[in-house]
Amino acid sequence: MCGIAGCVGHVNTPGLVVEGLETLQYRGYDSAGIAMQNDGQLEVVKTIGAPGNLRKQFDVNATIAETAIGHNRWATHGPVNMPNAHPHTNETGTIASVCNGTIENYKQLRAELTYNGYSFSSQTDTEVIPHLFDYYLAEGAEPENAFRQALGRLVGAYAVLALTDQDPGALYAAKFSSPLVLGVNGHEHIAASDTVVFAGTTKQATFLEDHDMVRLIADEPPRITSVKDSGSVVRVPEDIEDIEKKVGKGEFEHYMLKEIFESAETVRDATRGRIHPEDNLVKLGGLESVEERIKDTSRIVIVACGTSYYAGLIGEQLIEEIAGIPVEVQQASEFVYRNEPFDKNTTVIAISQSGETADTIGALKKADELAMLKLGIVNSLGSRIYRNTDAGVYCHAGPEIAVASTKAFTSQVTVLTEVAMALAEKSNTLNKPLMEELVALPEKIEAMLADTSAIQAAAKKYADYKNFLFIGRGYNYPVALEGALKLKEVSYIHAEGYGAGEMKHGPLAMIDEDFPTVALATDNPQLEKTMSNIEEIRARRGPVLALATAGNKEVEQTADDVIYVPASLEQTQPILNSIALQLFAYHVAVEKGLNVDQPRNLAKSVTVE
């Protein structure tokens, strides 16, 4: 949620910051702004909507500035308007700051600052930061110490960038519980929420830790200190050459469509070098360092949010069936506050596309306090979850720019399948067929994506409905939940996912001719029961769009419309089914003329609770 970028010493600092904001707009796109400093003079430019609108406000390439900081806002405190857009300044416009996070004690600070003569022009929590900075400067503190004192008053999560005319050419940065990373390229410095901002510009990044603060000056190495005691801190730069690459939409109309079509390569990348069907061997190098502790695992708790949570539900069935280890999946936001018994043989698996999900990080802190083994499944090297787990498996999905997760979900389910096989004994009879199917899966995905006319036709037919029900059984139950989430995320249609066996326990009351059901009816041991559920819906005049295995004509005779997907093993079928439902949601949103990549009220990386 929210993205920040700042730069000092670049030949076109404003251009780099605006481009960085455009790259980060998946983190927020309600409003955007930039503060530029040249010869000590600050200029602030803001806009409502996407950061690209800043290019209409000033000449990005012709504007000269030594330093600049920028921000994409995802509204939390106060509505979307110009006063609430970042950057925020002190009353005299000599200090500017941007913040990603939530300042929990901002009301108390605001009251204190108001008492001391400061006035506020926005409803945001961030505006207290430049005023605090100003207050301590007025008290006589040097700029660096004044910034540190201001940070010491903040309670909550933050990643802050700031400029002041009392220290021209310096960019101040600090973080606590929100991501902030530095990139160095020759004499210039870049600070941002994500390495994707400077990927291709520098091959190394320095990941700041909580309570880190840094003053960045062109041609000088970063000097990182502690907010707590001003002591020097050493952070070793890390190679990021293979972490992220800046990407465009290419020939695709939207990032979401592009990322769905990258699913086949996603599965290949997630399995390459890890599965060896000829030897019945799964080798996950990221878990080797904790191999002995994993062997002692008697229970697994998967913590995640949103789409990652639904991937976890599939992982639960995979691990229990293949490895025989009891698993439960908990929403990370609930896990933090539950009191339940754990022992030293409980392993926690955290799943997060961004690796920065605040609730999931909170769940890991709890696991750490209980001395449990912590494993991560992430798609972002260098992220907090990547760095705060004992070991993990990288998804290799590549950058995902669209807010609605697609290929990241595909990679998570693929990795969870590999984890289940790795936890199982080599003698498990499912391992070899599963490995062979994972190898074959990319070609099946490519075949399915070669002709999506049936999905597009269904989307056109059903786009005007106001409600949807998604049903499935077994491995298809979590897919129903994820399919419903995708539809509501990008099309704003009310959609609910249910276990098909629950139909008679309430959901059937909603069914009529205006309430369609998407039934996951691909071949599996529960198909006959799912077909009975379809009959129940049809008997109540409910339209049914079914997802069926290619060649199964029985489903065609029962449902109103059918989307066929390639056959696969029951355990890997969710990957194919979810891709079909992602495309369905995408085409419904396109049919409705909506902003597919940036749905309203949502942001990609949820870095606050």
What is the spatial distance between Cα 311 and Cα 303, in angstroms, rounded to a whole number?
10
87: DSSP letter: P
**What amino acid occupies position 339?**
N
Edge-to-edge strands, sheet with 299-304: 327-331, 299-304, 346-352, 373-378, 391-394
3 state SS for 176-188: EECCCEEEEECCE
Kindly state the helix (H) or strand (E) to which residue 386 belongs, with its residue range.
helix 384-387
Q: Which residues contact 285 (CB under 8 A, 6 or more apart)?
A: none
Q: Which residues are catalytic?
A: 2, 604
Per DSSP, which regions of 460-582 are E strands?
Answer: 467-472, 494-499, 517-521, 544-549, 561-565
- Return the residue matching tokens 């029962």: 558
| Other beta carbons less than 10 A from residue 518's beta carbon | 29
**What amino acid occupies position 168?**
P
Could you tell me if 491 and 596 are in contact, meaning their C-beta atoms sit under 8 angstroms apart?
A: no
**Nearest in space to 563 (alpha carbons), one of 537, 533, 584, 588:** 584
Residue 344 burial (10 A CB sphere; 0-12, 13-18, 19+): exposed
**H helix runs in 10-105, sequence order:** 13-23
Q: What is the DSSP string of 252-277?
A: SSSHHHHHHHTHHHHHHHHHTTTEEG
Could you tell me if 360 and 389 are in contact, meaning their C-beta atoms sit under 8 angstroms apart?
A: no
What number of residues does the chain have?
609
Distances (CA, A) of 459 to 220, 449, 545, 580: 56, 15, 10, 11
